[in-house]
Amino acid sequence: MTNPTSQLPPTLLWRGDEHGWLEMLDQTLLPHERVVLQLRDVDAVIEAIVHLRVRGAPAIGVAAAFGLLLGVRALAPGPMAFLDVVRSVAARLAASRPTAVNLQRALDRCIEAVRHEPLLARLFAIAQRIAADEVAMSACIAQCGKGLVPAGGTVLTHCNTGRLATVGDGTALAILFAAHRDGVRFRVLADETRPLLQGARLTALELAAAGIPVELIVDSAGPGLIARGAVQMVVVGADRIAANGDFANKVGTYGLALACAAHKVPFYVAAPGSTFDVRLPNGDAIPIEERAGTEVTELAGVAVAAVGITARNPAFDVTPARLVSAFVTDRGLLHAPFDAAIKALFDPGR
Ligand code: MRU
């Protein structure tokens, strides 16, 4: 059986000890070119996150943790206190992408770790721990969700939630990989995910590499196919899940959830604990990243709109909890009422 993790270089790989460097597969060049970047300073990591060379909520959290190590290493020891250096570099990284809470959560874990032990080696150890935790959570999500996949059915997924979006097997795609490894046979419809085509460029590549039958559809085809009974399950990832279960994911997710609710098709959200943000009461409080309009007015660098046409480009949308059939997490399936289920699992004050 083809192992998807054997097909591509690792999404992220740290080389050496705390004086080493971060290797990153440049996802903007996939599927045609496989270029591994060697990042040795925080500016390069920030550039990579902003330009989606690394993307996906768990993966940008891990990249930020190693980016923090690189940034602090360049400035310490120096005139500033170690913890102040850590905080100022973390603030720069935190501003790189605002919606996925994994990024801020990883930086918070790093700051907490060095509060009483202000050492570069400690920062290295916590970055490695964050990466290992994401791998373990991916595996648990896969085990938790694989039984949901309908044998002989068709699953629709949006954006990319595989190994490229995490440092493990993924979230939503990890569930599909695990079901396939168990011998469940099903087909996948991957939508293109305009404007940056994560579905066409990345998801289709990962599923095909795993031997899972996959067909691409344009984003606007999803709801109509759901209405026609061509889809038995939709599974997506998340970038931030509020305390009541409202969640942000790649723009286009909300429309799929509405179609599933209207046509009684199960709609699952797969996410690790690092994606839950119980500080936010509901989805209204989730910051939505607005990206450059040129991502919409151009396709692969070629203008598709007339000169002078501008575009609005929210990178994510918020889906209300009432449209979710269940959350598939590393700690089990969460069913409605989601506020109570999330509080029971993720509220640090419980
Ligand atoms: O803009 P991207 O490519 O970083 O968006 C990624 C998504 O929306 C994913 O669905 C989400 O991060 C979950 S990935 C495990």
* Ligand 1 binding pocket includes 201 (Cβ within 6 Å): no
What pLDDT sits at residue 4?
A: 44
pLDDT band, very low/low/confident/very high, at 217 (cuts 50, 70, 90): very high
Cα 305 to middle of ligand 1, angstroms? 26
Q: Is the peptide bond before 31 cis (omega within 30 degrees of 0)?
A: yes
* Predicted confidence (pLDDT) at residue 165 exceeds the cutoff of 60: yes
Banded pLDDT at 44 (limits 50, 70, 90): very high
Question: Residue 348's pLDDT is what?
Answer: 59
Give me the CATH code for the 12-138 domain, please. 1.20.120.420
286 lines ligand 1 (CB under 6 A): no
Q: In three state form, how does the secondary structure of 213-251 look? A: CEEEECHHHHHHHHHCCCCCEEEECCCEEECCCCEEEEC
103 pocket-lining for ligand 1 (C-beta < 6 Å): no
Say if ligand 1 is within 6 A of residue 315 CB: yes
Kindly indicate the confidence band of residue 296, based on its pLDDT and cuts at 50, 70 and 90: very high
CB within 8 Å of 285: residues ≥ 6 apart: 242
For the cut 80, the answer to whether the pLDDT of residue 5 exceeds it is no
CA angle at residue 197 from 196 to 199, to 5 degrees? 140
Fold of 139-346: Rossmann fold (3.40.50)
Assign 349 a pLDDT band (cuts: 50, 70, 90): low
Amino acid in position 294: T
Query: Average pLDDT in the 294-311 region?
Result: 95
Query: Whole-model pTM?
Result: 0.96
Question: Hey, which of 51, 60, 160 would you mutate to test ligand 1's pocket, going by the most ligand atoms within 8 Å of its Cβ?
Answer: 160
Question: Using 50, 70 and 90 to split pLDDT, how confident is the model at 300?
Answer: confident
Write down the mean pLDDT value for the chain.
Answer: 96
Q: What is the pLDDT of residues 312-323, one digit of tens each?
A: 999 999 999 999
Atom 6 (ligand 1) nearest CA: 56
- Answer whether 12-138 and 139-346 agree in fold: no
- State pLDDT tens for residues 260-287: 999 999 999 999 999 999 999 999 999 9
Going through the chain in order, the beta strands assigned E by DSSP cover: 12-15, 21-25, 36-39, 154-157, 187-191, 214-217, 233-236, 240-242, 247-250, 267-270, 276-277, 298-299, 302-303, 316-319, 326-329, 332-334
What is the model's pLDDT at position 2? 38
> Starting at the edge strand that comes first in sequence, how are the strands of the sheet with 21-25 ordered?
12-15, 21-25, 36-39
Active-site entry in 133, 169, 239, 246? 239
Determine the atom of ligand 1 nearest the C-alpha atom of 236.
Answer: 10
Question: For residue 299, is pLDDT > 50?
Answer: yes
pLDDT of residue 236: 98
Residue to mutate (ligand 1; options 198, 234, 236, 291; most atoms within 8 A of CB): 198
Give the contacts of 186 (CB within 8 A, at least 6 positions apart).
149, 150, 151, 152, 153, 154, 155, 176, 179, 180, 212, 213
Q: What pLDDT band is residue 77 in, cutting at 50, 70 and 90?
A: confident
Q: Is 330 one of the catalytic residues?
A: no
The larger pLDDT score, comparing residue 108 to residue 348, is at: 108
Among 134, 161, 164, 206, residue to substitute to test ligand 1 (most atoms within 8 Å of Cβ): 161
Contact (CB, 8 A) for 65 and 127: yes
Which of ligand 1's atoms lies nearest the C-alpha of 172? 15
Q: Is 159's C-beta closer than 6 angstroms to any atom of ligand 1?
A: yes
Ligand 1 mean position to 75 CA, how many Å?
31
For residue 186, which of 152, 218, 225, 220 has the smallest C-alpha distance?
Answer: 152
Domain ranges of the chain: 12-138, 139-346
Percent of the chain whose pLDDT exceeds 70: 97
